[in-house]
Structure 1
């Protein structure tokens, strides 16, 4: 007698091999993307710390302060990278994160601005309107989202140039935008920038000369920006989509990039609803 079962056959050998290859490829990408980013700030911190420890008595006060500033800046870079790595691990669980609630987007953004690194906050031009409808989402996540978007704008825009933070409401959604005057984003990369481990072009950006520059320029007048682990924008999309929101990058009219995040509007969504439609064209700062 032949037995019949409803068991579903397991994956084929080829399918298992493909899955294994994908895991190996992701592992290699992870190692390649993070090893340099971890090593660089550690090397700089150790170098400046050794200089202070071995030559403290002979260093002018200005050099001591500069060394302390660099150590603090690179320690912040290292802490943010660790945060990204931990967040990437937790984002693998779709159930992670707080449940969406109604909250004041402007208040949430102001709190997120206050949490930005000081050098980044100085570049931000905040233009937030009064009377904006409430949003539905996770207000605690705004700090991570804004930090990543502002850091991305800082990386690919002229040293010391403004980065705008604006907000508004349209079509049953509330939104905020982070705009810069940088090298922009190619249309064919507008979706790829959100892929895990994807790296943008590490192009130099103009550095204005003079005392107002917030960073040092190379001899050719350009400041070379540090790369990244390719996790920041990936995390932004995962965080926003988990809240039934929508995020995009697009070229800014006149040059640069606009990053836009949309969340459900509390007035139009008495209960947490579906996905948000994309934006209509709008005049940028």
Structure 2
């Protein structure tokens, strides 16, 4: 009896701690968004002024600052999305769109900023799906940036768009460190990070894949990974085809 009481108290305390953590994440991310937006605006104003004067050195520093602010903005947006997911407030605005066009646009955008990897759109099919275009773009950006991040010794990422059994399938293949089978289900959990004392660690909060997976679930699709340690990873997700 005492054991059952102790377990109940422990679970209650754990839930209370998780609730406080979620409340803190929500509050902190909202409070950070305004000053970061202001800093980004000031940085862009300074960039235009120095560019007009033709001063190259401060432009390089401001470009680096803007890049770091973009990373911080993405982190804040991820935390806000995480908070919305925890409270059931993450919504999708559905419309019909060509998935292949969206993939191509994201690939072109990220390719323009990548100095290390060639993003190869190897297969593409005209695919009409029904969903939130912005959220699917968010998933694609997360998968592609992860693919480049976790394959520092490689120089390409392969993207494919196809259809099968009335579903659209998008795959993102890298040639990096790979993921051991023991971690392949857990990486879609909130805050989960793969740690290996024998491998280089990569900074992150472990929420990007969790958010991406939840977005795909809201679209009645699935996300999974095919990988083995040291042999790269291929992330795939499905979306139902539009039947309008």
Bin for the TM-score computed over the shorter chain: 0.7 to 0.9
Higher helix residue share: 2
Q: Is 1:22 aligned to 2:15, yes or no?
A: yes
Q: CA contact under 8 A between 1:133 and 1:265: conserved in structure 2? A: yes
RMSD: 3.8
Q: CA contact under 8 A between 1:184 and 1:256: conserved in structure 2? A: yes
Query: In the alignment, which residue of structure 2 is the partner of 1:129?
Result: 124
Instruction: Point out which structure has higher relative CO (alpha carbons under 8 A, 6+ apart).
Output: 1
Gaps of 5+ in 1: 1-11, 50-55, 206-223, 271-285
Counterpart secondary structure, 1:91: helix
Picking from 212, 220, 226, the partner of 1:236 is: 212
Q: CA contact under 8 A between 2:180 and 2:228: conserved in structure 1? A: no
Picking from 158, 161, 167, the partner of 1:164 is: 158
Q: Which has the larger radius of gyration?
A: 1
Query: In the alignment, which residue of structure 2 is the partner of 1:279?
Result: none
Q: CA contact under 8 A between 2:220 and 2:240: conserved in structure 1? A: yes
Structure 2 CA distance for partners of 1:24 and 1:159, relative to 1, 3 Å: same
Q: Is 1:91 aligned to 2:91, yes or no?
A: no
Counterpart secondary structure, 1:239: helix
Q: CA contact under 8 A between 2:92 and 2:132: conserved in structure 1? A: yes
Q: Is 1:113 aligned to 2:113, yes or no?
A: no
Q: Is 1:82 aligned to 2:76, yes or no?
A: yes
Deviations 1:133-155 (A, max 9, x none): 32232222122101111121122
Taking the aligned partners of 1:239 and 1:85, their CA distance within structure 2 comes to 14
Taking the aligned partners of 1:103 and 1:114, their CA distance within structure 2 comes to 18
Corresponding residue pairs, total: 218
Gaps of 5+ in 2: 44-49
With structure 2 as the length reference, what TM-score do the two structures score?
0.73
Q: Is 1:263 aligned to 2:224, yes or no?
A: no
